[in-house]
Structure 1
Amino acid sequence: MLIRYSKILLTAALGALILLVAINNVTDYATNYQFVSHVMSMDQVPTGSPLEWRAVTSVTLHRLFYAFIIAVEFSAAALVLAGAWRLLLRRKAEAARFNAAKDVAIAGLALAVGLYLFGFMAVGGEWFQMWRSLPDAEQAAFRFIGCAALVMLFLGQRDD
């Protein structure tokens, strides 16, 4: 039973973390919007770089991309927290029912890992060369990926 409670607690904690990130992006919109705009504009890539053509300078596209990030964060948080709730309701159920209840949380965790792995590491980090000016941002994304992936792996282990 301790393993089940651990899975529920860690899932709920990560759901709360994702929700806080999304809320922070809404309540302190300007700070992280500037970050997204800075990265997409590629203003730290040296002039004459063969990668300059990748830069996106449209304010509209910056806002749309940032809105997409926030929407994915809220979606992931909702799925993870709903999944934690489902797990809590089935904590005393037989193993098959408890295992079946994991799917919503795992979907939310996969969405969060996907956002940070693809959105921040691949698109932001490599496509837009975020690492040139903001190396800490990639490290922060990697820490988030690591936490979410570890919880997903732990949660995904079958309960007998």
Structure 2
Amino acid sequence: MADGGRRTDTRRSGLKESADTAGPVRWTRWPGLVAGPALGAAALTAVVGLVVALAAFGNLTDFGTNQQFVRHVLAMDTTFRDPDLMWRAVTSARLQNAVYVGIIAWEVSAAAVLLRAVWLWCAALRGGSAGQARAASSVGLVMVLLLFGLGFLAIGGEWFAMWQSEQWNGLDAAARNTLLAAAALVLVHLPSAAGPDRPGTPDRPGIPEEPAAAGQPGSATG
């Protein structure tokens, strides 16, 4: 009976050890998922990249709609037409089109950088380094901030007095995109967004290799 009790305890101990180790093993393929900020940084980078990519796609496939928007904003023809401000207006069609094409090219570039960053985040979440993902996200998000913050809010909104126009006013959309990119940039640079810095093994990246357990003594026989 004593020998049977020891065998039962050994089996129960083995089951308990298997249950305790089942959780971490389940995450070995995606060790970075344990760190919430890393997953959040990847997701928010993907959202911003998708928004910019769709904006660029819309401008390319429906070129004329936002072309009119850019022309009216630069011409300042729907503002209060204050003589003290109208000298800022750009009425040359060539310059207006050049600005619009430049905006589209900037959007395409920013979207490409951000989508590349998403791919790098996916690699980082599987146990790789988050340094390249963070750098790519930073470049792409800063490009978005410059486009919507500097380009639309500062230059379009203030210099060309877009805030005075009821018909051609893109300040709300620009503010949303600016805040979204800024939030993503903050999350990307949180210290824990890089994921856990843990040594890994070739078959289980990100999970430290445990030392070999000491040999179990054999059970006594009656």
**Shared fold per TM-score greater than 0.5:** yes
Offset at 1:44? 2.1
* CA-based RMSD: 1.6
| CA distance in 2: counterparts of 1:33 and 1:113, whole angstroms | 21
Other-structure match for 1:129: 161
More helix by share: 1
Other-structure match for 1:139: 172
Counterpart residue type for residue 71 of structure 2: S
Offset at 1:6? 2.2
Instruction: Render the CA deviation track for 1:126-145: whole Å, top value 9, x for unaligned.
Output: 11111111475111100110
Runs of 4+ aligned residues of structure 1 deviating over 4 Å after TM superposition are none
149-158 or 57-66, which moves further after superposition?
A: 149-158
Q: Residue 109 of structure 1 contacts residue 152 of structure 1 at CA under 8 Å; is this kept in 2?
A: yes
Which is higher, the Rg of structure 1 or of structure 2?
A: 2
| CA distance in 2: counterparts of 1:92 and 1:59, whole angstroms | 50
Q: Aligned pair count?
A: 158
Name stretches of at least 5 consecutive residues in structure 2 with no aligned partner: 1-32, 197-222
Offset at 1:9? 1.6
Instruction: Render the CA deviation track for 1:38-62: whole Å, top value 9, x for unaligned.
Output: 0000102334521111010010001
Q: Residue 11 of structure 1 contacts residue 84 of structure 1 at CA under 8 Å; is this kept in 2?
A: yes
Counterpart residue type for residue 65 of structure 2: T
Q: Secondary structure at the match of 1:102?
A: helix
List aligned pairs for 1:1-160, cutoff 5 A.
1-2=33-34, 3=36, 4-93=38-127, 97-134=129-166, 136-159=169-192, 160=196
Instruction: Render the CA deviation track for 1:49-99: whole Å, top value 9, x for unaligned.
Output: 2111101001000100000101111111111110110111121336xx213
**Percent of residue pairs bearing the same amino acid type:** 36
TM-score (norm 2): 0.67
Q: Secondary structure at the match of 1:101?
A: helix
TM-score (norm 1): 0.92
Offset at 1:100? 4.1
Q: Residue 74 of structure 2 contacts residue 91 of structure 2 at CA under 8 Å; is this kept in 1?
A: yes
Name stretches of at least 5 consecutive residues in structure 1 with no aligned partner: none
85-94 or 51-60, which moves further after superposition?
A: 85-94
| CA distance in 2: counterparts of 1:155 and 1:144, whole angstroms | 16
